[in-house]
Structure 1
């Protein structure tokens, strides 16, 4: 009897944290169309679920994502441009446009488009054994899936070019030094440590963080004047929300604010 195939994305929710796990461990979670399209759909579902406050993307087994599964696209009647516009580009746009914080929990190698995915999170947590490789030049291709946008903003043009041209592996300690991740966590207990970090983030004011992400995304490509105008607009939205009243009330009462309401209460 043939066993049913495991889903390419595993989804689990605990304490307001939706963890989406790339589940092709035998291929170091190399991406095929099914994985990319399902990950995009799961992110959209998480965004629509009021019980979800933070999303974590990680990998099963010993890899985060080894990039494109070349066997999946070999011989296909589709151009590179068509493939990117069908799979990777909608995924990266979904992550950056999600109204909730996204943590990329890099548990192993992140190569090629997997490196782009690792860089796309609002917060990047790395295991000590994790590494990142902009491997595209090894097969004479251009970095895609957002790498040319993310990497130079993090490390500067010159280091970004060198990493892309030479396809050198970046290990965790250098990743922290370069600004490619916010924290390095021990390999042992990595998933539990990521969950604890995500739960801490989930306890923060969700509406204010949504607006903060919106402001930061816009500021990455705006002028100072435009950023100031948007800040003023979004600050009004934040100030009119119940979270602000709770924060001020808690401050005056010298207690911790309660930014998580019961599911039956309106946000």
Structure 2
């Protein structure tokens, strides 16, 4: 029995749903961080035409970028995407916020979700907390944190962590965050590890994975989130802008919330930064 391609399928499905909802369009400029051939394939499948794929590893992409320290200016790309890359960063949160910073419309991440099922799987050895398997597959030379030889900790996200990270970084605005779920059974890893028993078990239960994903989405191990930027200010920031406008017209009311520089940026592009 062949496994459905849940990696490519989930990746394509989420991006197509964002296009269908009008969040992004196929003519938008796209930046992929921690990217490679898989990302190029998926972007072509969805129909994006302006795509820049970057990576620390020059065997994956000729465009060098450190996801935690992107060299691009704010709002440089309409859409910024990462697929299974944040957990290879020293600080997954920093990389996510760099993506958010350089995105004009939306930042999308595909990562693992922290859940009771995953923690149970780790306890029974069905999956791992540190990505030692990737190091072995690269002969001990790479595949770990920052694509080096040290196995990375597999950082698994929750919905609240995503919201809190973005809110801390951009407290003046209230972006919309959407979440997506699917179940990925690691048959390929069991096969490569020579674990025939686990491979047979995974193949046997795979047909039920779609039903499981529908009934218990938050227990799935495939997780994606789309952070859509908002130009609208938080209510208290709207008050601050009005106070600044009054001050500009000659009112001497002090404003401790919005600095001169922040107000100038708001006047220029509708955002504080």
Q: Same fold (TM over 0.5)?
A: no
Higher gyration radius (CA): 2
* TM-score computed with the length of structure 2 as normaliser: 0.28
Which structure dedicates a bigger proportion of its chain to helix?
A: 1
TM-score of the two chains, using structure 1 as the length reference: 0.28
